Each structure stands twice: as C-alpha cells, then as structure tokens.
Amino acid sequence: MNGLRRVSAGDPTTAAVDSKELARLALLCRAELADESDATSVVLQVAAQALAREAGVTALLDGLRLFASPLRETEGPALEALGLRFATLPAEALGQLFELSLDATRRKRSGSYYTPRRLTEETTRAALSRLVEPDVAPTVCDPALGGGAFLLEAARQLERAHPRLSRRDIVERFLFGADANPLAVAVAEAALCLWARDPALEVGALRRHLVITDALERGWEKRVLPPGAQGFDLVLGNPPWVAYAGRAAEPLDPERRRELAASFQAFRGYPTLHAVFVERATELAPEGVVALVVPSPLADLEGYRPMRRAVARSHVPVEPLLEFGQDAFERVTQPCIAFVAVPGRGDEDGRAYQLAERQKQAGAAEPVAAPEVLKRVASLPSLPKELFGELGFQSAGEVTKRLFLRADAPDELHRVPLLEGREVREFHVGQPRLFLNPDPEILAAARCRLRPLEHYRRARFVVRQTAKYPIAALHSGVPFRNTLLAGYEHPELTSELAVALLNSTLYRSLHLASRRDARQAAFPQVKVLHLRALPAPPARPELHRSLEELTRKARAGMTAELRHQLDALVFDLFELTSEERESVLRFARARAPELGRGG
C-alpha cells in the first residue's frame, strides 16, 4: 500500500502492513467499534478513512466493521490461518495510521511527526543507561505521547532489562503519558495493548496512566504518579516542534502567549513549544533523567539561552549530545539531537552544549575538535559591530508571486533590480537577475519595505547569508534581497580589508569552528552576530595595504595563486607558526573540502 510507509528500514519485523492486517487492527487492539464513544474506535476509523482516501483501499472500513469482538486466545491461530502476520504486526502501525489521519497543515501547526524507530531506540538506550538504579524498573513518562512511539520503545527495553516482569506489568505499572489530543492518547493505548498481547488486558485499564491533558499545565502528574513519588524516574519523548517567531512562525493566541511567557523561562527567549517542553520535563523528573528529541539549535542558538538556564536549575546535559542529522524525519529537513540530562546544578549562564555532530543518519557522530590556534585567535577583540547590518529586502508570498520578474533585464513594470546571494561569489558581484515591480499598495498590504536607493549605496560590501562560511564582495550599489548581509565602511577597517579577511581560510575556519549551524548540511547560515564575533585584525598597516590590493585584483577573478597569497597574508597578520597554519588548513579541508588549498 502506498499510503503506509515502512515503519523502520532494515527491520524485517516491521515491513509495511497490507490492507487485510489493517482491517483487523480493531480486533487485535480490542477496539469495540460498535461503541462510537470509545476513543480507540474513533481513531481507528478516522485513520482508516485517511488511509483509504490516500491509497484507494475502499474495503478497509468494511473490514474494520466486521471485527468488533474482543480478541480471544483461540482467535490468534485463526488469524494466522488467514495469512495475517499477527506475531509480527508492528505496534507502530497505529502511530503511522494516526499521522496519516492528520493533514499537512495540522501536522505543521501541532509539530506532530511520528518518531522513527532508530531515534526512539538510541534516545531510550542513552536515557536508561543514565539511571541511578538500573536494577530497579523506572517510571517512564512521555508528556507528548503522539502515536506512542517512545513508550513502545521504553516497553521493549524494559522487558529486556527486567525479564521477570511481564509485558502487562510493564504497561500497567511503569508507563505514563499525556497528550492534549484524545486520538493520540487512544493510539498509544491501543499500540501498547497490541504490544502486550495479553487477552486479559483491557484498554481502559491504561487510562489511569495515559491521560488526555496539556502536559504543560502543572498538577496533572500528581494524579498518576505512584504514592510518595516526587516525579518520574525518566521523562522521554519527542515534543512538538513549533516556533512562534521567525520565518516559520505559527499563529498563537495572545493570551496563550502571555501565559507561556509568565509560566516558563524558556519561552522568554526564542518562543518555541519544544523549548517549553524541555523546561517542563525537568519539572516532571526533578530527580530523574530527561531524554527528548529536539531540534539541534537548542544546543547553541542564543535565543535558547533562557531555556538552557532553566535546565541548569536542576539538570546537567550529558555531553556530547548525540545529533541524528537532517534526514532523521521524513518530510522534515531539520537536524535534531537526543537531549539527555541528569540531575545536578548546571551552568547558570546557559552556555552552549557540545554535540557529537553528524549531517546524515548514516554518518559517524563526532564532536568538533577545533585546533587550539583557532581558539586563541577567536579570543581576540572582535570586529566593530557597526561593520555589519541587516538591510536586504524581505519578500512575502504575494510579493514573490505578483511583483517579481526573473530575467536578464528589467521591463516597464519590473524596474528595480534586486541582487541575490546566488549572484555573489568571493570578491565578485554578478549582474542582478531579479527585478521588482515596486507597487506601493501590494508592498504595503504585504508589509514589505523597499528602502530608498541611497540606503543600499551606503553598503560598501555584501556577505552571503545562506552559506556555510563567509563569502564577501565589494558592493555595486544596487538594492539586494535579505539573502545578503550589508557591510559598511568603518574608520578602523576599510571595506577592501574586510572583504579579504572574510574570504580567507582562517576567518572561514573560525566561523566553521564556532557555529554549529554553519556546519549543518541543510540551510547553513551566516548571521550578523556571527560576523560581529570574528576577531579584528592586528594593526599592521603594511599587511593591511597588501590585503586591500589583493581584493582589488581578485574582483576580476579569483585564482589559485591569489588564494595562496591571501591565506599567507592573513596567517602572517596573526603571526601563525607553520604548524598552526597547517592545523587550520587540515581543519578547513575536513569541514569544507573546497577550502584549505592555499597557504
């Protein structure tokens, strides 16, 4: 069936389920479809409808209606005789069905994506290895249940670690969770019952531990925790990834925004739901382990510093944190990490966390080891902050559709040239290939501002914004989009000198060493704050003049000889030894093979 992808690649027991097996999920999960108040029944019907629409399986609903009786011990062999792989039916199939029942818009706004098996395995294993009492089965809570992927994995690993416990014991005594979506809770209930394979286990028995509530609301956990427990031993899961600011901002009711800001320190920086869930997880496990799959930027982005400070009140991250890569989730291009933290007092300043990085799941995860010379140079006084700024034209959807013309020349309406990052190479600015119709009404309606031409002329050089290291060139004076950052003349630093420094292997290596988002394969960025943090050059006028002259020569085209001269001049400027120079070049070659060929 095209509508249900494989649950976990490479696992022979999790092959895609055919329509006959899906038609009998109601029986296998003990859903009484005649009773429409049963949440499990509802979710199976909704999910089956979604699957039928997508894959054309019109008989699926009829099949579900046929099997409304509870599973009995004698029925398992009968199902096997019909060719149904009951013994190998993956419990994750229900979570997959639940995701299919959500349209793309709902998934994006709620941050709902079923977690792949590989992520749940690695994260859960890392978390359980950090428990203080490994011989005692822990209480495990997922505060954002979704389809129940993490509780299923916790159940499997608890069974291996504690073989004396029955599957029923595990799901009834040690697994807890919450979700604001009743259907998500129903999916988790049914999936755990399917995993337990106990005819005597009633789905309703799990509803004491799996509750329909917003896990960010405080107090619900007291109703489900064992008597005398102050919190869970382990909080595990994949909270919703939703941002309420920036380019990917989702709408948020103003009153809800005020509530989150008042209740959670993590929301007072870059406002995201996943950051708030991290802080809430530390409250749910005040003396336990926290293990959540979250976007990688939480580890080092300045906007997440309030979240890191909140975590530090009670927990310390287990570094280096494991990164899964940008391809961890289907349909989502966002690197993510297993954020694992244990009880203790952390860094109150909210410093960045170290990662074991990898760009792809198949790649090796390893910490970034920058040469000591880069650390020394990075500690020098920084470039003047006035040297860089945001100036580029920001376009919205309607502006892009109605006012842009991609061509080699303007026409009568599209008369304003817009330079883009793609037209800028090191030391060289090409001709604009994008032209804007400056219709004031459409621009005003879209809240897009085109600055006066003299503002753009004040920018003496430009730097590509979407790139893994600085790519700079002297500016030609035309307006440009926000794929470029502005560089200004400064009394302490000429534009020609700034461009030479930014294009050098030393400065690019400094950027790659200090910025995780520069090293990621998906959408690497150079930001104004990144540029302002780079070191100012030592005062050596003769070398400054040589670098300025090199910039003027390189405008006609960069050559291997000019690259060699550029890197040698910048190394001389900072008085690097031959060994230090070679260490920088090795680092550059490892992180960006096209770099590090000079010297």
pLDDT digits (tens, 9 = 90+) for 397-436: 889 999 999 999 999 999 999 999 999 999 999 999 999 9
**Under the phi-then-psi rule, with left for phi > 0, alpha for psi from -120 to 50, and beta for the rest, what region is 368?**
beta
Calpha distance 207→565 (Å, rounded):
70
241-252 residue pLDDT tens:
999 997 778 999
pLDDT for 72 equals: 38
pLDDT for 329 equals: 59
Query: Cα 82 from chain centroid?
Result: 43
Calpha distance 43→375 (Å, rounded):
55
Most distant CA pair in the chain: distance in Å?
A: 91
Cα R_g (the chain), whole angstroms:
28
User: Residue 222: which residues within 8 A CB-CB, separation 6 or more?
Assistant: none
DSSP per position, 386-453: GGEE--PBP--HHHHHHHEEESSS--SS--EE-B-GGGEETTEE----EEE---HHHHHHTT-----H
Question: Are 108 and 241 spatial neighbours (Cβ–Cβ below 8 Å)?
Answer: no
pLDDT for 95 equals: 60
pTM of the model: 0.73
pLDDT for 182 equals: 79
Q: What CATH number belongs to 385-591?
A: 3.90.220.10
Between the two ends of the chain, the Cα-to-Cα distance in Å is 57
> What does DSSP say about strands 234-237 and 210-212: parallel, antiparallel, or unpaired?
unpaired
> What is the assigned CATH class of domain 102-363?
alpha beta
Q: Give the CA count within 13 Å in the CB-facing half-sphere of 247.
A: 5
pLDDT for 362 equals: 60
DSSP per position, 351-373: PPPPEEE-SSTTSPPEE----HH
Domain boundaries, the chain: 1-101, 102-363, 385-591
Specify the 3-state DSSP secondary structure of 153: helix
pLDDT for 146 equals: 85
pLDDT less than 70: residues of the chain:
1-114, 202-204, 326-333, 359-366, 522, 596-599
Do domains 102-363 and 385-591 share one topology? The answer is no
Q: Where are the alpha helices (DSSP H) in 254-385?
A: 254-263, 273-284, 305-312, 372-378
